[in-house]
Amino acid sequence: MREKDAEYISMICMRSFETSIASSLPCEGVLTFTKIAKTSAFLERMQQDNIILVAVDNHQFLGVIELKAGHHIAMFFVDPDFQNKGVGRALFSAILSHVRTDILTVSASLSSIDIYKKYGFEYAGEVGESVGLVYQPMELEVFRSELLT
């Protein structure tokens, strides 16, 4: 992701969030997510130990995946108009080469659990809540030899 992409990526995250997650959360959770998905928040995280990859086709942004500290998926959204077309799978495959640990983690929104299960993630604890965001901890054992091929 480039700095000039942050506004578009923020819009994709908000559009996807509003379509599939927002209605299941309390107001506090919606406000929390809005802060996390702001353009300025993405720009700040770009300066940290985060890798942010975007899917683009013909100058149109389709999705984003963010890997925090080489081991945790912090954001993973595909524009609703492009879901179920392989965009998410391509982003997920691309981020794997940046994973630096044997276990990849995610705090999955409840509506995204089935997607993460398709990618091989398993439950890693009970459903939790933090500042209004409800999530299922999940993890995936990353086989380093698969990443080298």
pLDDT at 149: 42
Supply the pLDDT for residue 144.
Answer: 55
Instruction: Flag residues of the chain having pLDDT under 50.
Output: 145, 147-149
Domain that holds residue 144: 3-148
CA distance 10 to 44: 13
In tens, the pLDDT along 45-86 reads 999 989 999 999 999 999 999 999 999 999 999 999 999 999
Question: What's the CATH number where 120 sits?
Answer: 3.40.630.30
How many structural domains are present in the chain? 1
